[in-house]
Structure formats: C-alpha cells, structure tokens
Amino acid sequence: FTDSLDVLKMGDSIFKGAYKKNTYSFVNQLSYDLMNRRVIDPFRLHIDLQHTASMAKISASFNYRFTISRKYYFEARAFAGTFVAGSTANRYYYAFRPDGYNGSDDYLFDYNYMARNESQGFGYSQFTERDGNMKVPVLFGNSPEWMASLNLKSPRIFILPVKIFADLVFCDPKVLLKDQVLWDAGINITILSEMLEVYVPLAYSNDIARTLDLNNISFANRIRFTLNIHKLVARNFIKDNFIGQ
C-alpha cells in the first residue's frame, strides 16, 4: 500500500505545517486474525505488523464477550502496541492514538468516513475503534513509542439499547500532561450492533477535560459515533441486530 505523507524536510528534522510537499512511502502490513463466533463467549485476536522504510510497529488487540444470557453480555477489549524501529520524527505520523482513528488518522485508508478530512463538525465526530479506543476526543497523547488500553462495556440496561462504557489508556509519559493514566466513562447507545453506535462521554480524566475546555469543544462535539460500513455482512448483520435481540 502507498500512502502520502505531507511534510517539509529541513536538514535532519521533519515539520508538519502550512508549507508542505508530498513524499511517498510504502507500508508493508502483515496481519493475523483468530476469531471464534460461537454463541457463548465469542472472541477475536488481531495481531498487526506494519513496516516502512522509516519505521516498524507491532500491535495486538483481543476482544472477548462474556455471555450472561442469550440477550445480555459483558464486552472487554485489551490492546497493546509498540514501535520497534524508526526515529521519533519518523514514527509520529504513524503514532498510536488514545482515542481511535478519525478520517485524517487512517493513513492506510482501511475505513470509510463521512468527512475524512474535516477537523470539526458532525463528520469529525465519526471515529473507528482502534488503538486506545477512548470514546471522548483526546487532543494530546499520540504516542510514537508505545500504548496499552483496556476497554469495557456493560450488558445493555434492561431492554434498552443502552450500555455503560469505560476506557483506560496507558502510554509513554512524555506525550502526557499531568495525568499518568487517561480514562473515560459514559453511555453507549447501540443503533445497529457493531455498525452504528453513539458514545456519550460523561466523565474523563482532568487533563482531557481541561484541554477540551481550553479549545472550546462543546458537550455536543464530545459525543462521537462509529459507522462501520466495512463490517456489513448480510448474515452477521441480520443475526446480530434482529435474530439475536
């Protein structure tokens, strides 16, 4: 896969900014998936290795669904990733994100976005559950070193399509502010299972709250959603959203 990296090179440094030129790099990717869609306690393991001429990184995520009954289950996801080659400047474009991917973060163009290049507004609120997978937007913490996270979702509340979520993210302290651990919690509204979901963050760590306030990010703009068109498989879509309810 070929991706374009907009940079201006000056000496040994790389700067992102208004004056940019396109350089091109090849991203070699090797992935391994182990999935079991059994009715009781299904799981998925995903291992991903990415390599370019200037960096290499490896990551793994593990999703597990603890079945309580046919209609109720508890979801857990664990993620860990690290860079194994490349300078900090070369890694930063490919850094691990604490709050998943929006359109501009998706350098492999793996996902579909309503507004890939927006930096504000409704389209910017769409994200993909990758890396740290926090649901509140995080304006700092992109790590060119390492990252680990734990993401939890409760069973739905009675018959409502509503769950409680909580996230913990650990990463290289050099990209953090005062808080050494990032966290958030709130309400998850499922419209179409694993495809269209809305996340309403209600509580989060102090540094996240402070940076959102300083940048005048309103409560409405802190609400985010996923739209995973790439997961549209007719058999699974009907099973997850109609038969299994």
Per-position pLDDT tens, the chain of length 245: 444 444 444 433 444 444 455 656 689 999 999 999 898 999 999 999 999 999 999 999 999 999 999 889 999 999 999 999 999 989 999 999 999 999 989 999 999 898 888 877 888 899 999 999 999 999 999 999 999 999 999 999 988 999 999 999 999 999 999 999 999 999 999 998 878 999 999 999 999 999 999 999 999 999 999 998 876 665 555 555 555 55
Instruction: Give me the pLDDT at residue 14, please.
Output: 41
Contact of 66 with 74, CB cutoff 8 Å = yes
CA distance between the termini of the chain: 39
Q: Say what the pLDDT of residue 135 is.
A: 98
- Strand-pairing partners, residue 39, are none
Q: What is the pLDDT of residue 244?
A: 54
Q: How far apart are CA 125 and CA 224, in angstroms?
A: 5
pLDDT confidence of residue 235 = 56
Q: Is 113 helix (H, G, I), strand (E, B) or coil?
A: coil
Instruction: Give dist(CA 156, CA 188) in Å, integer.
Output: 9
Spatial separation of the C-alpha atoms in residues 117 and 114, rounded to whole Å = 9
Residue 194 neighbours by CB distance under 10 Å: 15
Q: What is the DSSP letter of 119?
A: S
Residue ranges in the chain assigned as alpha helix (H): 88-91, 206-214, 219-222, 234-238
